[in-house]
Amino acid sequence: MSPRAVSIENVSHFYGKRQALADVSLSIDPGEIFVFLGPNGGGKSTLFRLLSTLMPLRHGSISIYGRTVTTHQHEVRQQIGVVFQMPSLDKKLTVQENIDQQAALYGVTGQTLKDRTTLLLDKLELTDRQNDIAEDLSGGLRRRVELAKGMLHSPKVLLLDEPSTGLDPAARQAMWRYLEFLRTDQGVTIVLTSHLLEEAEKADRIAILDQGRLVALNTPDALKDQIGGDTITIRTRQPQALIEKLKRELNLTASEVSDLVRLETEDGPGTIRTIMQTASDLVDAITLAKPSLEDVFIAMTGRQFTEEVTP
């Protein structure tokens, strides 16, 4: 059987006494676009640092195409391209000089370097910026140079930590076009972290990390189907009174999430009509929606995606 692109088994991580990852296991297939989604503090960056061999792995095992990060660090680094959240460009150097620096680090030389540079600059629409100083580039263009650096040694797996941060919508779209090209045209496995729900929708599969735990793992559609039906959200000044009334008089089970009352139902419009006939005195506003990834997160954790967690 050919190896998984990425295999993560029983990985935990502690910063002192604080547990940042708790027994995470999953695998990623070659050619997948895979998103680690989670709110701040979920553990995404910690897992990213372990995957990119930036931080030593102490609990569990991680392998990239069958090579474990603890025993085959050098081979793993040849297989992965990494785009960090923090800019890694030397701002005083040109685009080409930044690429040359990366080439020296990875031992890419001669004709291979020339061919790779030409292809990457072309694909990332940077050819006419080759001799520009990095600090003169916009945020979106800089991110594209980071991508060129990450892909220079033709890695089979590209890891990106929050790649959309600081990009405007057009730059985000350009980045996603390139990621999809890499996957389709070159079979590169793309693994990224994100705290943006709409970005996770573009993935083949999503892993949701919350407080260091893997709380969901599937395709975006399968995750939403798991919730099923329609989601009704009600704004009210008396959430508990409304929840009790819905249970008592309509046998509907609702819950309070961030001052709103939520429930899932097979028949959204019909349920809204019944609620308005029975409990309109307690309803300030009522909305109906198909389940979103936010609903998946709420169903898995009982909290809203954006809610702060007190450690």
- Nearer to ligand ATP by C-beta: 41 or 166? 41
Q: Is there a contact between 10 and 203 (Cβ–Cβ < 8 Å)?
A: no
Is 40 one of the binding residues for ligand ATP (CB under 6 A)? yes
- Nearer to ligand ATP by C-beta: 28 or 279? 28
Work out how close the CB of 45 gets to ligand ATP at its nearest, in angstroms, rounded to a whole number: 3
Is 30 one of the binding residues for ligand ATP (CB under 6 A)? no
Question: Binder to ligand ATP among 42, 150, 163, 291 (CB under 6 A)?
Answer: 42
Contacts of residue 237, defined as CB under 8 A and 6 or more positions apart, other chains included, come to 282, 284
Question: Binder to ligand ATP among 28, 34, 43, 214 (CB under 6 A)?
Answer: 43
Work out how close the CB of 179 gets to ligand ATP at its nearest, in angstroms, rounded to a whole number: 20
- Nearer to ligand ATP by C-beta: 8 or 108? 8
Question: Binder to ligand ATP among 5, 6, 20, 279 (CB under 6 A)?
Answer: 20
- Nearer to ligand ATP by C-beta: 24 or 188? 24
Is 18 one of the binding residues for ligand ATP (CB under 6 A)? yes
Side-chain half-sphere exposure of 50, counting CA atoms within 13 A: 26
Residue numbers 194-233 binding ligand ATP by CB under 6 A: 195
Work out how close the CB of 137 gets to ligand ATP at its nearest, in angstroms, rounded to a whole number: 25
Question: Binder to ligand ATP among 41, 60, 87, 229 (CB under 6 A)?
Answer: 41
b/e map 91-123, b = 16+ CB within 10 Å: eeebbbbbbbebbeebebeeeebeebbeebbeb
Binding mask 170-199 for ligand ATP (x = CB under 6 A): -------------------------x----
Work out how close the CB of 159 gets to ligand ATP at its nearest, in angstroms, rounded to a whole number: 13
Is 8 one of the binding residues for ligand ATP (CB under 6 A)? no
Using CB under 6 A as the binding criterion, the count of chain residues that bind ligand ATP stands at: 13
Is 306 one of the binding residues for ligand ATP (CB under 6 A)? no
Work out how close the CB of 18 gets to ligand ATP at its nearest, in angstroms, rounded to a whole number: 5
- Nearer to ligand ATP by C-beta: 22 or 133? 22
Distance, in Å, from the CA atom of 158 to the CA atom of 143, rounded to the nearest integer, reads 14
- Nearer to ligand ATP by C-beta: 42 or 291? 42
Work out how close the CB of 41 gets to ligand ATP at its nearest, in angstroms, rounded to a whole number: 4
Distance, in Å, from the CA atom of 231 to the CA atom of 292, rounded to the nearest integer, reads 9
Is 44 one of the binding residues for ligand ATP (CB under 6 A)? yes
Query: What does the binding site for ligand ATP look like in residue numbers (CB under 6 A)?
Result: 15, 18, 20, 38, 40-46, 195, 311
